Amino acid sequence: MDGQDPIARKVVEQGMFVKHCKVEVYLTELKLCENENINNTVTRRFSKADTIDKIEKEMRKIFSIPDERETRLWNRYMSNTYEPLNKPDSTMQDAGLYHGQVLVIEQKNDDGTWPRGPSTPKSPGASNFSALPKISPSSLSNNYNSISNRNMKNSNYCMPSYPTYKSYDYQEPGRCNEQPGLCGLSNLGNTCFMNSAIQCLSNTPPLTEFFLNDKYQEELNYDNPLGMRGEIAKCYAELIKQIWSGKYSYVTPRAFKTQVGRFAPQFSGYQQQDSQELLAFLLDGLHEDLNRIRKKPYIQLKDAEGRPDKVVAEEAWENHIKRNDSIIVDIFHGLFKSTLVCPECFKVSVTFDPFCYLTLPLPLKKERNLEVCLVRLDPLIKPMQYKVTVPKMGTIMDLCRALSALSDVPADRVIVTDVYNHRFHRIFAADENLSSIMERDDIYIFEMPVNRLEDNDQVVIPVYLRELYRQTTYSHSSGSLFGLPFLIAVPRNLTEEKLYNFLLRRMCRFVKTSADCEEIEGTVQCFKEDGINGLNGVHDEGSPSEMETDEQDDESSQDQELPSENENSQSEDSVGGDNDSENGILSDDICKGQQTTGHKKQLFTFQFINFGNSDLIYIKDDTRQIQFDDRHLRLDERSYLALDWDPEVKKRHFDDNSAEDCEKHESVEYKPQKKAFVKLKDCIELFTTKEKLGAEDPWYCPYCKKHQQATKKLDLWYLPPVLVVHLKRFSYSRYMRDKLDTLVDFPINDLDMLEFLINPNAGPSCYNLIAVSNHYGGMGGGHYTAFAKNKDDGKWYYFDDSSVSTASEEQIVSKAAYVLFYQRKDTISGTGYFALDRESTKGASAAVGIPIDSDEDCNENEQENDDIENENCMHTY
């Protein structure tokens, strides 16, 4: 606008190598305070591109701190946890500051000391540690025994500081060191998923020894375009060294989280994430940062083409090593065989592919139980509740067939609906998926006299019951829905009186006629004699649409205010004898229930709601004829016939108890026995079972030259020294997300995988458990923890963010187990399987005077090992 100052906004970059620039419209709000008065905060907004130095200058100005006074900045992200911000040139984005973050500025005392503790200069490459109040570890309620006499000290783990800025640390004098590895990780805000994954990797001995001995520095790959210039590897190494330093009972992995967020934006915020997804990213990132291959060659993949599996497997592994050779490959990578068969030409495609972890499906029941209520065609029969067993991935027709087997009602003569708040929330088509039905849904199935797909002479109409209230102005009527809606089939051409009789008969079980009318039984018998029972029909197309209504559902109340009748209905839809009733205005006669059509008293009026002019035609003559369109009338939840009841008439003639009365079939009482648990080997067997590819994931057959739903089978060929098993507990579909809390019984020791290996020369395949990542709670939330076996003392511990406690083997197997870490027994420390382990073993042997093999003997042993490894298609470490 003219005369208005422009609003300046910066363009910020996101990502490390692939830059994404965007205008920062909304600035980040920070809360600033002094160390002397932490509760008194001042709010200011900064750009993500602003530096720490700029923020500190702004804080000095706000709190009137003299220029000659020395200050330092702290990041306060928990009530008792502070992190030094000692990189003045770092931006807010680099420092990981987020909206609402509290920053504290501290002034140096006149005597040269700092209020938060003493400071001593350090070398530029050292890490920074901050003094924190002594606290007790916080954890979820559990029955794990806390470690006795543990000292609560903390390391605020940071990246190396710049030499131009003072760094500082503080250590309490006279305190004992902690046991290496028994170090918690502070929760930075929904980062328990990260803490759980890190603790599992930290307790993977060969990987941790690799970083603790600085072997990673020799293999950093700064030029790998798929890597992260060594940043992830260096950052992880610093964190592991702090965890295993034996100095701290917990550390704060903020710098590690910041680096991960820079390369994987999905982890940059503070939302709950998946520990397995972070683990997959971290293993891949470490692999690329430590890849010994500096220039990856192009390799043309080949199919087996009838060659022996041993030859194809060796070729696949060699090709993999030519492009991927790192400590991660040495420890975590295995090989499986994939077999695809075309269903048309029966072409067999065999490939061998590497894997870093196994994602195992949980054996699920292929069926589910649904409770439904069947409303019979005979109006005198009470609705009956059934419990039916249907396929989990079935259709509505499968539900109809299951109900037919119990009730003898033909499957093609029912309509399935979902009733909510006295209306039809959904009217299902026969080919819709059963996954759209939730456990909490109220499913009502209505019997129809004919097949809805074959009859063209009748229409099916949804009917809602409404109780009208007279407004004081007599200009509008309002009301609320009540009772159970129902479906009625009527001829395409009929009079209002006949439609009224159809409706009255449909409700004769719970609607009492007037004293001067015939008894219900007589009325029903009269209708049957007139042949009315045979006039009901079914509409051809029953394809429902999602509920889109201008009448809002309110879960807290069963009553709904309805708009005036003339706002959502045809002007000539209501049954009555004057213009007021046609326009939805209640006359005194209607309110008293005395409206007449011909010579018969009527208990209710009715109106067609949301029916278009093309759907039905009213012919104004003596009989008030109704004609429905010759085309198939769409069965829709929004288009319905409303039966309007006066409160007094409803009170006298409508029996609510009878209307809600429902009988239970014997199937409802049946409770199938649930399987207490499944074994891990059941999951592995399911993983190696042949399956048909889905329609959305076809395979391109090179012979047919088109995509096919081929059959696929996976088999294990070679297993790595450390086997990571991911239990697929989370399931996703179009309508729901769910977590499977099935107890998987997995062995702590001696997991023998030999029976699942198709390689005849597989070699040792017995594993022991070393770590478990746990997830408690449901989808989209919950809490992550970890069990891990310490490599030094061989005992199990429970890691819950900053808390570490002892654990027993009996506590490890639970419904919360999510990711399992197994180490092959022939690769544990002392066996000399890894080069680093061989070096340490030789050093220990020399120290105690044990003879060391000669170079010749070593060469012979290495040659034998190479022969065995080549034969087993394993990488030579």
Provide Rg for the chain, Cα atoms: 37
Q: Please list the active-site residues.
A: 192, 783
**DSSP H or E run through 34:** strand 28-34
Measure Cα distances from 467 to 650, 699, 827 in Å.
8, 58, 77
How is residue 443 written in tokens?
């499913």
Work out the number of other CB atoms within 10 angstroms of the CB of residue 115.
10
Distance between CA atoms of residues 590 and 596, nearest Å: 9
Q: How many helices (H) and strands (E) does the chain have?
A: 19, 43
Q: How far is CA 395 from the centre of its chain?
A: 24
Residue 699: closest CA among 337, 321, 457, 343: 343
Residue listed under structure tokens 């087997």 = 405
Q: Which residues of 638-659 are buried (b: 16+ CB within 10 A; e: fewer)?
A: bbbbbbbbbeebbeebbeeeeb
List residues bridging with 463 in a β-sheet. Answer: 486, 641
How is residue 48 written in tokens?
């993500």
Query: Are residues 565 and 575 in contact, defined by beta-carbon separation less than 8 angstroms?
Result: no
- Residue 163: DSSP 8-state: T
Could you tell me which residues come within 8 angstroms of residue 478 by beta carbon, excluding any fewer than 6 positions away? 468, 469, 471, 561, 562, 563, 564
Residue listed under structure tokens 């065995």 = 868
SS (H, E, C) 811-835: HCCCCCEEEEEEEEHHHCCCCCCCH
* Amino acid identity for residue 354 in this structure: P
Query: Are residues 83 and 77 in contact, defined by beta-carbon separation less than 8 angstroms?
Result: yes
Query: Are residues 114 and 108 in contact, defined by beta-carbon separation less than 8 angstroms?
Result: yes
Please tell me the total number of residues recorded for the chain in this structure: 877
Distance between CA atoms of residues 335 and 314, nearest Å: 10
Residue 81: closest CA among 133, 42, 34: 133
List residues bridging with 691 in a β-sheet. Answer: 712
Work out the number of other CB atoms within 10 angstroms of the CB of residue 454.
10
Distance between CA atoms of residues 720 and 332, nearest Å: 5
Query: Are residues 184 and 279 in contact, defined by beta-carbon separation less than 8 angstroms?
Result: no
* Amino acid identity for residue 748 in this structure: I
Strands (E), 334-455: 334-341, 348-355, 358-361, 367-375, 384-391, 414-420, 423-427, 442-447
Work out the number of other CB atoms within 10 angstroms of the CB of residue 161.
21
Query: Are residues 56 and 86 in contact, defined by beta-carbon separation less than 8 angstroms?
Result: no
